[in-house]
Amino acid sequence: MSELTGYKGKALSLLSNHNISIGDTVSVKTSTEEYTGILMPRYEFADDNHIVIKLKNGYNVGIETAGIVKIAKIESKVEQLKGEKIQSSVDQNLPKIALISTGGTIASKIDYRTGGVKAALTAEELYNAVPELSKYARIDTEVLFNEYSENLTAKHWSEMTKKVNEKVVNGYEGVVLTHGTDTMHYSAAALSFALSSVPVPVVIVGAQRSSDRPSSDAALNLIGATLFAARADVSGVFVAMHAGTSDSLIAVHLGTRVRKNHTSRRDAFESINMQPVAYVDGEKIEMKIDSLPRRKSAGKFDAKPNFDERVALLKYHPSMDPRIIEHLIDLGYRGLVFEGTGLGHVGKQCFDAIKKAVEHDMLVCMSSQCIWGRVRMTVYETGRDLLSIGVVPLSDMIGETALVKTMWALANSKDLQGAKDLIMQNIAMEYFDVSSFD
Amino acid sequence: MSELTGYKGKALSLLSNHNISIGDTVSVKTSTEEYTGILMPRYEFADDNHIVIKLKNGYNVGIETAGIVKIAKIESKVEQLKGEKIQSSVDQNLPKIALISTGGTIASKIDYRTGGVKAALTAEELYNAVPELSKYARIDTEVLFNEYSENLTAKHWSEMTKKVNEKVVNGYEGVVLTHGTDTMHYSAAALSFALSSVPVPVVIVGAQRSSDRPSSDAALNLIGATLFAARADVSGVFVAMHAGTSDSLIAVHLGTRVRKNHTSRRDAFESINMQPVAYVDGEKIEMKIDSLPRRKSAGKFDAKPNFDERVALLKYHPSMDPRIIEHLIDLGYRGLVFEGTGLGHVGKQCFDAIKKAVEHDMLVCMSSQCIWGRVRMTVYETGRDLLSIGVVPLSDMIGETALVKTMWALANSKDLQGAKDLIMQNIAMEYFDVSSFD
């Protein structure tokens, strides 16, 4: 009997009649298209009008049952799933990659072939779920934690830093971190500073759509991230996620210059004020930025895992209450990052409170809520006043990166001036010269 | 002797030698281009290698002196500037438009023909500065205030509302408000709610580049805004600003769905989750959205100018301190709008404080810091937990609009439930159905 979890009605009949089970490779013909791929399970709320297959490039498509002209099984599941053998057959000359799981959609739903919702804990399970990985790397997996990324804090960034450090010291030639997408860009910025001298690529990857949905990006993103970690001749911290509307393109973003700009699209992550540093399309890596540091041998390096959580990010808005700033002083905060308006402004009702914060040795920095462009505080009176109060302008550093860097600078310097010096220093391309002011 | 404020060195010699003064219409030929326009003054820090002319479409270009093959005066300033006569010659059948000045780059530097930096106070001065306006409308001007927009508060929104109301009651068929760009989108959202039943178009306009710079957008934006206010068959509150890289295109955005997305570009303002409602190109208005309310006769309508300033906007970030939320409760705040992560999340360390806020009758709402897309709080556990605590999900309403609407809803309802009902109601297309969740 066919194993057809989640299918019902017309879709179920069609598949049963052709003796097709989940996991089988099928060919499907409609009046306009032809598809070959693996039949996927369906989940609660699924309609009975579609079947879902996973194409060879990792992309899931839903095909309307009514439009199917021909359907046939090409290869049955039993012949494909030989997980234990896949791993032992991985080429021992491939780069050794550590895959560290921290949680999120990609980790909790990755096993899309069997429809399981648990984490991909072992290399065997991972290779079973995404067999393409065995072509690119010898992967060892480890679950560091299993959190939705909105629950991650600076303490988790420290843990991630130490774990990556351990892996690289132990000879791993690249690291892939699976991560929830909500705060992935904050973590990417944090690791960019904490691991600024890492000799290999560290690639953070997530999924906007879990693998139980048609058009899931889980497998494709993971393949792209692993390929980049294994083969790209660069070092540093990156985010690899789906790009554009193509079904096969992955963009690799610099860890300090990436932002989640859409709640749900697969291409939600965008590089800000620069293009992605690379694209991965199939097995091809196309580098877009030449100035990245080259890959070096895995081994010891100087990780700086500490962050000071006594830093707040405030997005300025009309009628903002200066008492919030004063409260941060009372709480003993050491840093305050504004997302100001336009070129880096806040309303004058906040000036006295900001002055008081500076007098209490708080490091007060200015980024822009516009997101694109750069802070320029010498153009208007408001900016000049804030500069004279002692606010530090952060040029084209985005607000999220600015928060993270201020937390890191305060934890890695002996005094306020040291922290300011670190803030002004370009550590991980968080300041990017060619950003257009036009 | 030539009047050549700001010119020096080679540029000054070239112009003097050809007996050209500021305000003269000149033709300039380089090896590749030919320009005809009015010679503009230059300002401090200007180099001596360029001359700046204003083209007929309102666009300023800088031309390198070294590349000029031929330059000639076509018409002298004296023959053109007959300000008093321009106004009296304005066609009395043209629509009557009120131009209200609130400050910002566009107001402080608009008089680009004479190089003055004061506000365009009178209709005469305005017609002198931008003669094209006299073709489209009979304009009366009034200075309401003169503030950089970062200093505007909810109290200013109330003043603007009352002033627009006064003008429309007095028969003006459209209103143009000049405004600094920093918080223009917050004001646009505020007026959208306060003036939701306004019978004519209210168009807010600014300039990203003051008129003393080549490529100033001041005149072009003002012309586009005035044309739209005078001729478009719609009512409501809009923002008219430069669009794309063309030198003549103006986008008209819905007041509740527009955001300043770049610190300095002329096309910094973008419609979020929808296209602009219209484009203005030269004298052509191209409507993009059909569902807008039509223009009605100017006259009495129900303005709701009040806002409650006891509302905060907090952008969630990793390690956010829940004591900030508790402090807002202590300060007697009535509303809190989060820009959460992803589909509308905050870290669980804030749950207790949010619960306490809700128990203290604070209206707690959720938008997304992603900017694009929409909050969907039923997808993940975190969202469902926040919903059960009582957080109100704001779908595709952007954070800035959400803040403003919460301030307005609390000031225009008799109790918390009434405010919640107003929040959920679609007042000014702040919820937009066709927004893609794809």
Q: Residue for token digits 């107003």?
A: B422
Beginning with the edge strand found earlier in the chain, give each strand of the sheet holding A392-393 in spatial order.
Answer: A311-315, A335-340, A363-368, A392-393
Whether residue B332 lies within 8 A of chain A, CB to CB, comes out as: no
In angstroms, the separation between the Cα of residue A416 and the nearest Cα of chain B is 21
Q: B353 Cβ partners below 8 Å, 6+ apart? A: B322, B323, B325, B326, B329
- Mutation target to probe the A interface, by most A beta carbons within 10 A, among B109, B150, B398 is B150
Q: State residue B90's pLDDT score.
A: 81
User: Which residues 293-322 in chain B show a CB within 8 A of chain A?
Assistant: 307, 309, 311-321
Sign of the Cα torsion B129, B132, B137, B138 reads positive
pLDDT band at residue A168, thresholds of 50, 70 and 90? very high
CB contacts < 8 A, A to B, total 184
CB burial of residue B93 (10 Å; 0-12, 13-18, 19+): exposed
Weakest-pLDDT range from A178-192, A256-270, B121-135, B385-399? B121-135
Phi/psi for B328 (5° steps) reads: -65, -35
> A62 touching B, CB under 8 A?
no
- A2 in a structural domain: no
Angle at alpha carbon of residue A238, lines to A234 and A242, rounded to 5° = 115
Are A130 and A164 contained in the same domain? yes
Q: Give me the half-sphere count of Cα atoms (radius 13 Å) on the Cβ side of residue A218.
A: 28
Q: Which domain holds residue A137?
A: 81-287
Distance (Å, whole) CA A295 – CA A386: 41
Using a CB-CB cut-off of 8 Å, the residues of chain B touching A312 are 320-321, 324
Question: Residue A397's closest CA among A332, A327, A313, A331?
Answer: A313
The pLDDT assigned to B391 comes to: 98
Known catalytic residue at B82: no
B432: in domain: no
Searching chain A, which residue's CA lies closest to the CA of residue B323?
A331
- Spell B113-141 as b/e; 16+ CB within 10 A means b: bbbbeebbebbbbbbbbbbbbbebbbbbb
Q: Write out chain B residues lying below 8 Å of A106, CB-based.
A: none
Q: Does A153 lie at the interface with B, CB-CB under 8 angstroms?
A: yes
Chain B closest-CA separation from residue A401 CA (Å):
11
Look at residue B186 in the predicted model and tell me its pLDDT. 98
Residue B89 and residue B210 in one domain: yes
Nearest to A148 by CA among A186, A120, A114, A107: A107
CATH number at residue A391: 3.40.50.40
To the nearest whole Å, the CA of A373 is away from the closest chain B CA by 5
ipTM: 0.83
Pick from A79, A97, A116: which residue ends a domain?
A79
**CB atoms near residue B312 (< 10 Å):** 25
Among A31-35, A251-255, B226-230, B414-418, whose mean pLDDT is lowest? A31-35
Q: What residue has token string 């450090």?
A: A165
> What pLDDT sits at residue B108?
54
Mean pLDDT, chain A, rounded, equals 88
Would B301 be classed as within a structural domain? no
Q: With respect to residue B292, please indicate whether it lies within any of the assigned structural domains.
A: no
Q: Which of B182, B348, B372, B377 to mutate to test the interface with A (most CBs of A within 10 A)?
A: B182
Instruction: For the full predicted model, state whether its pTM sits above 0.90.
Output: no
Residue B135 sits in the same domain as residue B46: no
Decide if B151 and A340 are in contact by the 8 Å CB cutoff. no
Q: Is B118 an annotated catalytic residue?
A: no
Are the beta carbons of B153 and A319 separated by less than 8 Å? yes
Confidence (pLDDT) at A246? 80
pLDDT at A4: 82
Helix (H, G, I), strand (E, B) or coil at A16: helix
Residue B402 C-alpha, separation from nearest chain A C-alpha, in angstroms? 12
Q: Residues B238, B320: one domain?
A: no
What pLDDT, on a 0 to 100 scale, did the predictor assign at position B38?
Answer: 85
Phi, psi of B372 (to 5 degrees): -90, 150
Q: Which of A111-115, A141-145, A365-369 has the lowest mean pLDDT?
A: A111-115
pLDDT at A26: 93
- Does A52 share its domain with A70? yes
Query: Among A197-211, A271-285, B69-83, B188-202, whose mean pLDDT is lowest?
Result: B69-83
Going by C-beta distance under 8 Å and a sequence separation of 6 or more, which residues neighbour residue B44? B6
As beta bridge partners, residue B142 has B100
Query: Do residues B194 and B204 make contact, with C-beta atoms less than 8 angstroms apart?
Result: no
**In terms of DSSP H, where are the helices of A234-360?**
322-330, 351-359
The dihedral built from the CA positions of residue A315, A319, A323 and A329, taken in this order, carries a sign that is: positive
* Beta bridge partners of residue B68, listed in sequence order: B30
Boundary (domain end) residue, out of B34, B51, B78: B78
A145: contact with B, CB 8 A cutoff: no
Contact (Cβ atoms closer than 8 angstroms) between residue B175 and residue B303: no
- Residue B212 contacts residue B115 (beta carbons within 8 Å): yes
Per-residue pLDDT band for A121 (boundaries 50, 70, 90) equals low
- Examine the domain organization and report whether A74 and A154 are in the same domain: no
| Residue B419 domain flag | yes
Question: What's the pLDDT at B183?
Answer: 98
SS (H, E, C) chain B: CCCCCCCCHHHHHHHHHCCCCCCCEEEEEECCCEEEEEECCCCCCCCCCEEEEEECCCCEEEEEHHHEEEEEEEECHHHHCCHHHHHHCCCCCCCEEEEEECCCHHHHCCCCCCCCCCCCCCHHHHHHHCHHHHHCCEEEEEECCCCCHHHCCHHHHHHHHHHHHHHHHCCCCEEEEECCCCCHHHHHHHHHHHCCCCCCEEEEECCCCCCCCCCCCHHHHHHHHHHHHHHCCCCEEEEEEECCCCCCEEEEEECCCEEECECCCCCCEEECCCCCCEEEECCEEEECCCCCCCCCCCCCCCCCCCCCCCEEEEECCCCCCHHHHHHHHHCCCCEEEEEEECCCECCHHHHHHHHHHHHCCCEEEEEECCCECCCCCCCCHHHHHHHHHCCEECCCCCHHHHHHHHHHHHHCCCCHHHHHHHHHCCCCCCCCCCCCCC
CATH number at residue A41: 2.30.30.520
What six digits make up the tokens of B261?
A: 């997305």
Provide the shortest C-alpha distance from residue B181 to chain A (in Å).
Answer: 7
Q: Check whether residue A99 and residue A136 sit in a common domain.
A: yes
d(CA A389, CA A73): 72
If asked whether residues B97 and B66 sit together in one domain, one would say: no
Question: Which residues contact residue A161 at a Cβ distance below 8 angstroms, ignoring those fewer than 6 apart?
Answer: A190, A191, A194, A195, A303, A304, A305
| pLDDT, position A419 | 98
Residue B185, chain A, CB below 8 Å: the answer is no
**B402 and B331 in one domain?**
yes
Q: Long-range contacts made by residues B265-271, C-beta under 8 angstroms, separation at least 24?
A: B265/A372, B265/A373, B265/A438, B265/B208, B266/B208, B266/B209, B266/B215, B266/B217, B266/B241, B266/B242, B267/B241, B267/B242, B267/B243, B268/A370, B268/A373, B268/B181, B268/B208, B268/B241, B269/B181, B269/B184, B269/B185, B269/B239, B269/B241, B269/B242
Query: Taking the CB of residue B56, how many other CB atoms lie within 10 A of it?
Result: 11
Are residues B281 and B397 located together in one domain of the fold? no
Q: Tens of pLDDT along B324-358? A: 999 999 999 999 999 999 999 999 999 999 999 99
Residues of chain A found within 8 Å of residue B109, distances taken between Cβ atoms: none
Return left, alpha or beta for B256; rule: phi > 0 is left, psi -120 to 50 is alpha, else beta: alpha
Residues B264 and B138 in one domain: yes
Q: Is A265 helix (H, G, I), strand (E, B) or coil?
A: coil
Residue B434 lies in a domain: no
- The predicted pLDDT at position B76 comes to 81
Q: Determine what percent of chain A is predicted with pLDDT higher than 70.
A: 87
B204 alpha-carbon distance from chain centroid: 5
* Any A CB within 8 A of B375 CB: yes
Q: Is B300 inside any structural domain?
A: no
Q: Residues of A with CB below 8 A from B373's CB? A: 262-265, 268
Dihedral, CA of residue A344, residue A350, residue A352 and residue A356, to nearest 10: -80
Per-residue pLDDT of B386-401, as tens digits, reads: 999 999 999 999 999 9
Nearest CB to B150; choose among A323, A327, A345? A345
Strands B60-64 and B50-55, by their bridges, are: antiparallel
Q: Please give the residue that has the higher pLDDT: either A78 or B232.
A: B232
* CATH for A89: 3.40.50.1170
| Cβ-contact B64, B7 below 8 angstroms | no
Size of chain B in residues: 438
Q: Is A437 on the interface with B (CB under 8 A)?
A: yes
Mean pLDDT across A6-29: 88
d(CA B380, CA A263): 13
Mean pLDDT score, A288-308: 96
Q: Which residues of chain B have pLDDT under 50?
A: 1, 44, 80-85, 109-118, 120, 435-438
Q: Which of A40-44, A83-87, A259-263 has the lowest mean pLDDT?
A: A83-87
Tell me whether residue A431 is in a domain: no
**Confidence check: pLDDT of A362 > 90:** yes
Residues A113, A4: Cα–Cα separation, whole Å = 12
Q: What is the mean pLDDT of residues A88-103?
A: 87
Q: What is the pLDDT of residue B121?
A: 54
- What pLDDT does residue A212 have? 59
- pLDDT (0 to 100) of residue A130: 79
Cα–Cα distance measured from residue B275 to residue B280, given in angstroms and rounded to the nearest whole number: 14
Looking at B52, B78, B104, which one is the last position of a domain? B78
Q: How is residue B243 written in tokens?
A: 């669009």
Q: Based on the structure, what is the number of domains in chain A?
A: 3
Query: Of the ranges A216-230, A304-318, B101-115, B225-239, which one carries the lowest mean pLDDT score?
Result: B101-115
pLDDT of residue A217: 83
Per-residue pLDDT at B122: 63
| Residue to test with chain A: of B215, B314, B319, most A Cβ within 10 A | B319
pLDDT over threshold 80, residue A434: no
**Closest chain B C-alpha to A392 CA, distance in angstroms:** 17
Least confident range of A181-190, A323-332, B242-251, B380-389:
B242-251
Mean pLDDT, range A162-175, rounded to an integer: 98
Question: Is A73 found in the same domain as A89?
Answer: no
